[in-house]
Chain A
């Protein structure tokens, strides 16, 4: 008997059909989140991505999910669903020991400026300096009118050098004239730190050149 190899498209189609054979109601999809098969779990997440009631289960799954593609699907679904439970679930990933999960969460949060707006200030005041650094990372491509104001506030007040350094890096791209006094003050505050002096001089030069 001749062996006919299926194309990747055919295999995907069969796979898709197989994993959609299970009952696609809410309870069936939630049960599928515990499937041994990552493809089944991923399909369940995708099918739950429009159901707000699924947020608690998706958040809970995030902390135990071992497959990167399922995890990415969960983060995207939560960002799409929005709301306090979903966004808190993504934000909690900033405290994870897993760098890949943290970075995925940062990328997802950058895409939902309106959802993130109300929690940025509390995250910038978090007791954990790493969380404050990741929050500055979120601001990097967050299209929001307060980004510069938040960054200026960080370099004026944050006691941790690496939080200030991360904010200064971003100000070198988005800073305007109104950031100049705070950058000069930061340079005075960390006058013994070569990186801050280098970055502050570079940022001031860029802003001043942009003004001319």
Chain B
């Protein structure tokens, strides 16, 4: 079973993503900011990371930049899911190392389609 880390400081957002992904058969862990996410990823790498941008302590861009510096994590897919919809924000997300940049609110079928796409789980 593939394992996904959802990183967002909003508990409701984490629960929403967890609900969608677990219903589809994925295992989900949560982190409330970039620091906690890095700590978890370094102990046990995940198959996919779903990352918010604005979080205290270490934001999503900072997390991805640091994450991509780790040799064994540099190729793992990461989806940035955020309220920041501007072209510049999108560019920053991709520059930081996101494979996909999605804007909230995200619909369940969108989250699942992109997750399956990045994990190679499309039928």
Q: Which residues of A contact B (CB under 8 A)?
A: 97, 99-100, 102-103, 106-107, 130, 133-134, 137, 161-162, 165-166, 168-169, 172-173, 193-196, 198-199, 202-203
Task: Assess the A99–B53 pair: CB atoms within 8 A.
Answer: yes
Q: For B59, what are the chain A residues with a Cβ–Cβ distance below 8 Å?
A: 99-100, 103
Chain A residue at minimal CB-CB distance from B84: A130
Given contacts A102-B54, A195-B105, A196-B105, are A166 and B16 in contact (CB under 8 A)?
Answer: no
Task: Assess the A97–B88 pair: CB atoms within 8 A.
Answer: yes
Q: For A199, what are the chain B residues with a Cβ–Cβ distance below 8 Å?
A: 12, 16
Given contacts A130-B83, A198-B19, are A165 and B55 in contact (CB under 8 A)?
Answer: no
Q: Is the interface of A mostly helix, strand, loop or mixed?
A: helix
Task: Assess the A195–B106 pair: CB atoms within 8 A.
Answer: yes
Task: Assess the A169–B10 pair: CB atoms within 8 A.
Answer: yes
Query: Is B62 an interface residue, CB under 8 A from the partner?
Result: yes
Contact of B104 among A130, A134, A195, A203 (CB under 8 A): A195
Given contacts A100-B62, A103-B55, are A172 and B104 in contact (CB under 8 A)?
Answer: no
Contact of B105 among A99, A130, A134, A162 (CB under 8 A): A162
Query: Is B60 an interface residue, CB under 8 A from the partner?
Result: yes
Query: Is B107 an interface residue, CB under 8 A from the partner?
Result: yes
Can you list 22 contacts pairing A with B, beta carbon distance less than 8 Å? A97-B88, A99-B60, A99-B62, A100-B61, A103-B59, A133-B83, A137-B54, A165-B83, A165-B104, A169-B11, A172-B11, A194-B107, A194-B108, A195-B16, A195-B106, A195-B107, A198-B15, A198-B16, A199-B12, A202-B12, A202-B15, A203-B12
Task: Assess the A193–B105 pair: CB atoms within 8 A.
Answer: yes
Q: For A133, what are the chain B residues with a Cβ–Cβ distance below 8 Å?
A: 54, 83
- Cα(A137)–Cα(B12), bound, Å: 14
- Cα(A166)–Cα(B84), bound, Å: 13
- Cα(A110)–Cα(B12), bound, Å: 21
Q: For B15, what are the chain A residues with a Cβ–Cβ distance below 8 Å?
A: 198, 202
Complex A-B, nearest 10 residue pairs according to Cβ-Cβ distance, in ascending order: A195-B105, A162-B83, A99-B59, A169-B10, A169-B12, A199-B12, A198-B16, A99-B61, A103-B59, A172-B12
Q: For A195, what are the chain B residues with a Cβ–Cβ distance below 8 Å?
A: 13, 16, 104-107
**Nearest Cβ distance between residue A162 and chain B, in whole angstroms?**
4
Q: For A137, what are the chain B residues with a Cβ–Cβ distance below 8 Å?
A: 54
Extra inter-chain contacts (18) besides given A99-B54, A166-B10, A169-B10, CB under 8 Å: A99-B60, A99-B62, A100-B61, A103-B54, A106-B56, A133-B83, A162-B104, A165-B83, A168-B12, A169-B11, A172-B11, A195-B13, A195-B104, A198-B19, A199-B12, A199-B16, A202-B12, A203-B12
